[in-house]
Amino acid sequence: MKVNDQHVVYLRAQMAGDAETMEYVTGQMTVPHAMDGLVPLVDEAFVLVVRKWFGPYYTHGQVIRLVAQVRGLLSEQHTLIDPVVAESEIRRALGESVPLFSDARVRTPAQMALSDFLVRDLELDEAEVWGLLRDARQAVDRHAVGTDGK
């Protein structure tokens, strides 16, 4: 899937809680499936920020506590994150061989909420967040080339 600048801007706005920019980008992307590129971008950004937050060593207890903490912060929207999906996605991002939840409508909101928390917890500055998004976009582009056989 092709990731474009608008996908990157949308994800940055989402991380910053900038609903106005998110609405603007969504309004600009009116063709069918225009937002599809957001899913792999979120996935790659999630992997990068999870690995940065956990570092090379982690325990399953830390994964469980992180998910519980984020779910607690979102208590008004407790259904946004399925704990089984969230824990599985974190473990997958950390390199464990766990099944991928194929439904992006379940996986992506959990990844976005967790990524938002981790970016804030890591106290990444603006340049670091844009660097993370750049790296995520490049990873998506590399995967796309690999799957196209080019």
Q: Percentage of the chain with pLDDT > 90?
A: 57
Other beta carbons within 10 Å of 31 = 6
The Cα–Cα gap between 103 and 93 comes to 16
Question: pTM to 2 decimals?
Answer: 0.88
pLDDT digits (tens, 9 = 90+) for 11-57: 999 898 889 999 998 888 877 777 888 889 999 999 999 999 999 89
Q: Are 146 and 99 in contact (CB under 8 A)?
A: no
Q: Which two tokens stand for residue 16?
A: 């910053």
- Look up tokens 């937050």; give the residue: 53
Residue spans of the domains in the chain: they are: 5-148
